[in-house]
Structure 1
């Protein structure tokens, strides 16, 4: 596809960026220099909750708003850093009184309620490990994750407990205590009222000593058909969260920040909780699900300056007949970042046209713990590119050899495995109870991400696809993302998912599943038009030979189109783990 470049605009620098010169910053950066940004525990250790909340509450930011919570029914609650310190101390005292110890796994299963954010900090203050669960999981994926993670405690609501936990309590014999956010009375000796316990708890707590390499969070991720894997992260991960907050999100103390991701996912904890608070920034939390008008109203009313959202949400906004700058005052908004899956070039251009600023894509994984490659304010944006590596990150496109070695590919435009040199602070430290799988993630001194990419002559990385998504057709290697992005340029197309369908003559046929914008009908005529459009854009060898219209494409709650699910359904194969499927 033709490469487009959006020049950086001097107007973007209304607030002085934290990284004005990428080249010199990248060359001079050392991870250990970040240590000076943190206070450290009085005992000499490092704890996420202390750095995110208590050090601000103990200083000049004590009365600054840390959290603005917007309930789905119109309720608003606010918390200063001082209040967050007291409330999370109470929660930590509740855990201590119940006998929870350092290193024990405590799960959270809740919608985006203030108590979830307070609980996250309280768990970390107690030296315990936070294990987020997504509230829209069904009973089976919840059970799988709690069993695999050795769950000892759970923070949840009455409705979620009754619907998803109570029916399978006998399968969780090691689960000692359940804390109900909204219960006024205890259900039984094991299922307790959190408000009752919080009312009795002291708001003073000495944070348990944790070392930088102590486990802090356990996130779960799934392969295409495998069972969920517990991804281990440590307290030192905040080095990455702080740096990416500064260099990628360009956070400053006077910012109002909104990350739309749910804390049940790694983005919702790394950047919906930790990163903004490390920078002493006010964090917006919206309890309600996606609603375009509500979202624009939040951006306007609360003067959001930095917005971190997902390609799925952006594509939904693109489908609507709303001109945001004519209908809303978004003058405070100065940076929009996107994550979840690669951002199609059309979405970046839409941002320029409708918001008067490009949407900046970035790349990372649950395993990396934080952003690794990004489009920065100080650089031109190449629509469709994931950008360039974070300072302190060595990224490369590599080829794995049969003898177990890895060769770095230096030729611009040549595809290979996207790999990182291990050692960054937020790198996962293991898959819980699966050391063999963890070791296989590293080959010849590189972390192999499982994504295919190429690098251009300017050092920008471009996503091709997951290694197991690549389509081999008539001797060509076709990346689904390239085909999807090309079809997205058609005015009728809202979303696209592309797979390879077995074909006896050409190996695999490129098939596209297309969701249309409102106002367009799924006709045979439009199908032929899209096939012709694809051929004109991509050439006959790469363009889809089949088009199937679907009203909604299967996606994860974090916004990724589930190509492997499209393929399984097309071929009548087992669907594998669907616990992350958007309902």
Structure 2
């Protein structure tokens, strides 16, 4: 069918269909799903209105959607008054969930028996009280009001969602900056937003090391003149600099707050900004994506039900960091809106051993797991025994997020982790969409599952795969993934991108001229059943002798070789072919880099992808430069290969990886006598 499309070198199983006997009551035929989907688009506004009415509004909305003040910026549910903090807390506290556990938090340190030294359990009532007390401080001590802006620079500790919910309660707009970011990255974001207050911590644990977060924050503040005050959470009890009159310890502030403090949630316009989250672009400067209270809440409510099939007895574990959009939507707001018990964990997935996540699953009886393909492939390297030594019988549903999942990683989750009992999905969405738009939906009806697919678009979502002119491409042919009409949760008023409505219009709506489609920047293919398979970024495509080759596809081929753990492919100029691929490869344990293996890998690519895609050179390294969320920074790999300036490296997890890539390339150049 169409082109020979692959993910990480693995053919996509378009015709494989898996149905789980233990989910038979939810099974549906693909044709039935598309019929329901068609109805949701035909009566589009009434469909989304019906979902929105399931939430608690202070004032009912008057319309479903209308145009905003700038092109392609839409107001969802205008006229309605709502507050996401109320949805996440107050309505549960008023009912039987008051004393239900909302969060189980596990710190990274463990004792001699392998058990966590720190576990905190917060009921909905506990969380509600803490959020009210922090909101009291923000409003009474620092005078924050609706529309004011703050930055939150905290690790994965309970105070992070508490501050997010407290700010939301007041209508204060926040930006969360991932605690792994450098001072430069923090400063860029806080300065762009115009934050007047920063929330941070003295430090936190990462892989057994103490990270002195307040020191990093102090350096950032030097170049953010808008920040007048700093609240510091005492996580580790470190001795840190505290500027007199500017910096305040949270625990000392709380001593002056009544235990029963109550701050009424602001009755906010549906389109009022909830947060601004900055996402990296290929051009370097982070883009501040605005999400609102109303439309965003509706999308999260729908996707928690449809995609995760949530039940009141579920124990839900999303392995993301709250500093990323997955954590905002599916650790903080989504689970709390639905009244779930959610687990979140401070540390690294393989610290102190590769079974840390599986021990968490066993310890708390996790039933829903939401994780990333990068983490899955990393844990696969350690073998199956680390998984099998733990009881995973409570798991009933698994989804992945963040990038395409290659079929072999999908099968490992399905066959090894959940022993063929669980639907395993690959959700597609991005910072800009706010929530999941394409996925299997076990909570609605379960279409046959295909290993590695994202699945059909969710109800009410008009997604398609098109060519550069916006025309739908035939099944099996690669094209651009677009969303053809507005959706709740999309970038919100006033400007879509903070302070840059022109950039918002240009980046997301003018790539396909004259159509008004939301351009995702992803490359995808549709199969004959209409399932969508996202196969990588559209801006990560090589053009070799006129042939378009996705870097992700080529990396997939290399990773499918028994010796390869990870791979990064970039294009470099070639006088004859225009561009040729080169590859940086991390080998699995037990394999040594040598010329014979290099030639074997080239032949592997030739056999499994085609001669046109054979890398001109393969370099062996022990690590690749990745963002702190685990994504390979191909831009840096390419810059090293091209000898170009590296640009912004503040999102790097390990700066030494850049040096290693650079050294490998320089040694190759010297070996050719060009150095």
2:528 to 453, 457, 481: 457
Residue 457 of structure 2 corresponds to which residue in structure 1?
A: 389
Aligned length: 577
* 8 A contact 1:516–1:551 mirrored in 2: yes
Residue 609 of structure 2 is aligned to residue 550 of structure 1:
no
The CA RMSD over aligned residues, in Å, is 2.2
The DSSP-based 3-state class of the residue aligned with 1:192 is strand
Q: Of residues 84, 87, 95 in structure 2, which corresponds to 1:48? A: 84
Q: Where does structure 2 lack aligned partners over 5 or more consecutive residues? A: 1-5, 41-46, 61-79, 110-116, 204-211, 655-675
Q: Distance in 1 between matches of 2:321 and 2:28?
A: 27
Deviation of the 1:415 alpha carbon:
2.3
Partner in structure 2 of residue 68 of structure 1? 104
What CA deviation, in whole Å up to 9, does each residue of 1:165-213 have, x standing for no partner? 2234342222122111118997521211211222322431211121110
Q: 2:509 is matched with which residue?
A: 442
Q: Indicate yes or no: 2:538 matched with 1:494.
A: no
Q: Is residue 361 of structure 2 the alignment partner of residue 299 of structure 1?
A: yes
User: 1:18 deviation in Å?
Assistant: 12
The 5 Å alignment of 1:393-432 reads 393-401=461-469, 407-429=470-492, 430-432=496-498
- TM-score normalised by the chain length of structure 2: 0.82
- Greater CA deviation, 146-155 or 377-386? 377-386
SS in 2 for 1:494: strand
Task: Specify the alignment match of 2:257 in structure 1.
Answer: 201
TM-score (norm 1): 0.94
Residues 346-367 of structure 1 deviation map (CA, whole Å, 9 limit, x = unaligned): 2012223312246421211111
User: Distance in 1 between the 2:59 and 2:133 partners?
Assistant: 20
* Cα distance in 1 between the residues matched to 2:104 and 2:220: 35
What SS is found at the alignment partner of 1:62?
helix
Q: For 2:546, which of 469, 475, 478 is the aligned residue?
A: 475
Instruction: Provide the residue aligned with 1:33 in structure 2.
Output: 50
Q: How does 1:561-580 map to 2 (within 5 A)?
A: 561-580=632-651
Mapped partners of 2:289, 2:320: distance in 1: 18
> 1:36 Cα shift?
2.5
The match for 1:404 is: none
Contact residue 187 and residue 221 of structure 2 kept, 8 A:
no
CA distance in 1, matches of 2:148, 2:542: 43
Query: What whole-Å deviation, never above 9, does each CA across 1:123-168 have from its counterpart, x for those lacking one?
Result: 1001111211011111111111111111111111124564122234
Moved more, 329-338 or 174-183: 174-183
| Contact 2:404-2:536 at 8 Å conserved across structures | no
Post-superposition Cα deviations, 1:17-57, rounded to whole Å, max 9, x if no partner, equal 99996335423431111123212237962111111111111
Per-residue deviation at 1:497? 1.6
Label 1:28 to 1:232 Cα distance change in 2 as closer, same or farther (>3 A). same
Matches within 5 A, 1:279-358: 279-291=338-350, 292-324=354-386, 326-355=388-417, 356-357=419-420
Structure 1 residue 516 and structure 2 residue 587: aligned?
A: yes
The structural deviation recorded for 1:298 is 0.3
Which of 196, 208, 226 pairs up with 1:174? 226
In the aligned structure 2, how far is the partner of 1:325 from the partner of 1:470? 36
The answer to whether the 8 A contact 2:153-2:200 is kept is yes
* Segment drifting more, 160-169 vs 205-214: 160-169
State the alpha-carbon separation in 2 of the partners of residues 456 and 70 from structure 1.
Answer: 42
Tell me which residue corresponds to 2:127. 84
Does the residue aligned with 2:275 lie in a helix, a strand or coil?
strand
Is the CA contact (8 Å cut-off) linking 2:200 and 2:214 kept in structure 1?
A: no
Tell me how far apart the structure 2 counterparts of residues 153 and 18 of structure 1 sit (CA, whole Å): 51
1:513-567 CA-to-partner distances (Å, cap 9, x unmatched) read 2212212112222111111111111121233342222211222222222222211
1:414-466 residue CA offsets vs partner (Å, 9 max, x unmatched): 22221112421100121111111011121322111112222222111222432
Gapped regions of structure 1 (runs ≥ 5)? 402-406
Q: Partner of 1:145: helix, strand, or coil?
A: helix
- In the TM superposition, residue 576 of structure 1 has moved relative to its aligned partner by 2.5
1:98-137 to 2 correspondence within 5 Å? 98-137=142-181
1:368 to 427, 433, 452: 433
Matched, 1:148 2:192: yes
In the alignment, the residues of structure 2 paired with residue 555 and residue 582 of structure 1 have an alpha-carbon distance, to the nearest angstrom, of 6
The alpha carbon displacement at 1:399 in A equals 2.9
SS of residue matched to 1:576: coil
User: Could you tell me how far 1:323 is from its partner in structure 2?
Assistant: 2.7
Q: Is the 8 A contact 1:222 1:229 kept in 2?
A: yes
1:469–1:564 Cα contact (<8 Å) kept: no
1:475–1:344 distance in 2 versus 1, CA, 3 Å: same
